[in-house]
Amino acid sequence: MLVVSTEYSQILAANVAGALGCPVGGVRFSRFPDGEQYLRVGAQDPEMVVVGSVPDSDAMVQLLLLMDACAGSKITLVIPYMAYARQDKQFHEGEPLSARAVAAALARGASRVFTVNIHDPRVLPFFQVPATNLSLAGDIGRYLSSCPLRDPLILAPDDGAAKFAGDVARTGGWDSDHLDKTRISGDEVRMEPKSLSARGRDVVIVDDIISTGGTLISAAGMLYGQGARSVTAACVHGVLAEGAYLRLLATGISGVVCSDTLERACSRYSAGKAIADGISGCS
């Protein structure tokens, strides 16, 4: 087995290979003068693991090229982060079902697909090959266990993420809850934990994705107003668009933590072992 990756997932691919106990393969990347991408895979193996996050259209083209370069091998495709996965419904006539289109294109030539905390697991059948979604809730919990948290409260930003927060909390035997929004008047909304108090506690808001961080920024100010000792943001996918990282810190959030599904300066834990365990479990 040989692990290769796109430019966007080199560190994660190395972590996957290390956890699997297999080598990584070199891939050369360049561009033609007109901007078209070129790549060339070095050594190949009858069984290839292709790792490639897809944060944008450029990354998607590169992953498609890498998959084609590995044609002829049995390919396990790992998509740690997949753009367009949230567009899983057609809201208006004439719209594409983008998640279906992207999944079908990426999986062509793969024998199996792994995703990591994909936004909606209902997307998985669109891959048209066996597809498994892996959760990093336990990995977040184990990372938080190494942090000096006092009486932590693991908090989901809404009830839709409550199960994920509960899974994180179970790792350390902590309390979990979700933010409840109450409209006070006009556009004024109050956010506070649904059932538990944040007073005097280190609050960790956890979610699958931090994109612009708007909800977290609003919630942090209110939680501090409700007596929280500290507020930390932890997620799987650190998209961190529109200057979200600095805006979160400027709000008073103690820290921002994400995995290496998108390689960021605040990537504090790796999806590598969870991916390797998933692959080994299906071998």
Q: How is the chain split into domains, by residue range?
A: 2-134, 137-269
Q: Give the span between the Cα atoms of 5 and 28, in whole angstroms.
A: 10
Where does 137-269 sit in CATH, by number? 3.40.50.2020
Catalytic residue numbers, as ranges: 181
- How many residues comprise the chain? 283
Please tell me the predicted confidence (pLDDT) of residue 43. 86
Pick the CATH number of 2-134 from 3.20.20.140, 3.30.43.10, 3.40.50.2020, 3.20.20.10: 3.40.50.2020
Please tell me the predicted confidence (pLDDT) of residue 187. 61
Question: What is the chain's pLDDT, residue by residue, as a tens digit (283 residues)?
Answer: 999 999 999 999 999 999 999 999 999 999 999 999 999 999 899 999 999 999 999 999 999 999 999 999 999 999 999 998 877 677 888 888 899 999 999 999 999 999 999 988 989 999 999 999 999 999 999 999 999 999 999 999 999 899 999 999 999 999 999 998 776 655 666 777 888 999 999 999 999 999 999 989 989 988 999 999 999 999 999 999 999 999 999 999 999 999 999 999 999 999 999 999 999 987 6
Please tell me the predicted confidence (pLDDT) of residue 186. 57
Please tell me the predicted confidence (pLDDT) of residue 183. 63
Question: What is the value of pTM for the model shown?
Answer: 0.93
Instruction: Measure the CA dihedral 6/11/17/22, to 10°.
Output: 80
Please tell me the predicted confidence (pLDDT) of residue 185. 59
